[in-house]
Amino acid sequence: MDKKVLSVKGKEVRKITLDDTVFAREVSDGAIYHAVRNELANMRVGTASTKSRSEVAGSHRKPWRQKGTGRARAGTFQSPVRVGGGIAFGPKPRDYSYRLPKKMKRVAMKSLLSLKNGTDDLIVVEDFTVESGKTRDLSAILSVLTGQERTVLILGDDDSMVKRAGRNIPWLRMLSYNRLRAHDLFYGGKLVVTETAAQRLNEFYSDASGKGTVPGKEKP
């Protein structure tokens, strides 16, 4: 499929061919869900911790005798039913991260690119840089393209000046073509892709690249 390439002024300068298997495939809602869930789980620090009845400080003597007081029997001050006692089944430090199958992650990324392209929220812009490295210069360029809507910018090269200019823009997220994040792509309003990044996405995620396939087996 052909897609317009815009200049930094918002004018069409040429067209680029995008791979249908990457930018126009059937959207897999399940793959997107699992990719976003995986990223959020991997971000959890898992440091929440509570003390059980065996860890709470205090005397271990029996509060009162077993019978004859008219009160419920009690064996320790650290019981979870008492104020200041231990926590029953409370959280302990744990690792929430897990690995997502590579094939599913590839399907999720291609589905997200296709989803944005299908709703005309994907914009291909000619390669540019911000020589000054100033936030206002990059903000002016993106304002023409997206109107300061929540934006994700996908770069084809590791342009340090663009990254420097964009790190203080609250409505902007910057990603490399080979390090996409499902959460940013899904919740970002507009997706701005540089021309070089679009070409590399074609190569990186294309079914013809052979990535994500099992050796010795044909692709479906």
Domain count, the chain: 2
pLDDT at 210: 56
Last residue of one domain, picked from the residues 90, 114, 149:
90
138 and 103 in a single domain? The answer is yes
196 in the same domain as 120:
yes
- pLDDT at 6 (0 to 100): 93
Of 29, 59, 90, which marks where a domain is finished? 90
Question: Residue 170 domain-assigned?
Answer: yes
Check whether residue 167 and residue 106 sit in a common domain: yes
pLDDT at 209: 61
Cβ atoms of residues 184 and 39 within 8 Å: no
| Same domain assignment for residues 35 and 81 | no
| Judgement on whether residues 108 and 40 belong to the same structural domain of the protein | yes
Closest CA to 117 of 205, 42, 53, 30: 205
DSSP string, 29-72: HHHHHHHHHHHHHHH---------TTTS-S--S-SS-SSSSSSP
Examine residue 164 and state whether it is found in any structural domain, yes or no. Answer: yes
* The token pair that represents 1 in the structure block: 């499929």
Rounded Cα distance, 111 and 74, in Å: 59
- Name the DSSP class of 207: G
**Domain range enclosing 61:** 50-90
Residues of the chain predicted below pLDDT 50: 212-220
Same-domain check for residues 111 and 131: yes
CATH code of the domain covering residue 139: 3.40.1370.10
The angle subtended at Cα 181 by Cα 177 and Cα 183, nearest 5°, is 145
CB atoms within 10 A of CB 2: 9
| CA–CA separation, 153 and 198 (whole Å) | 11
Q: Answer yes or no: is 38 within a domain.
A: yes
- Residues 64-96 have pLDDT tens digits of 999 999 999 999 999 999 999 999 999 999 999
Tokens of 23: 């930018």
CA distance 85 to 52: 8
Task: State the pTM of this model.
Answer: 0.82
Residue 58 placed within a domain: yes
105 and 123 together in one domain: yes
Beta strand pairing status for 12-17 and 172-176?
unpaired
**Quick one: pLDDT at residue 211?**
61
Say whether both 82 and 159 belong to one domain.
no
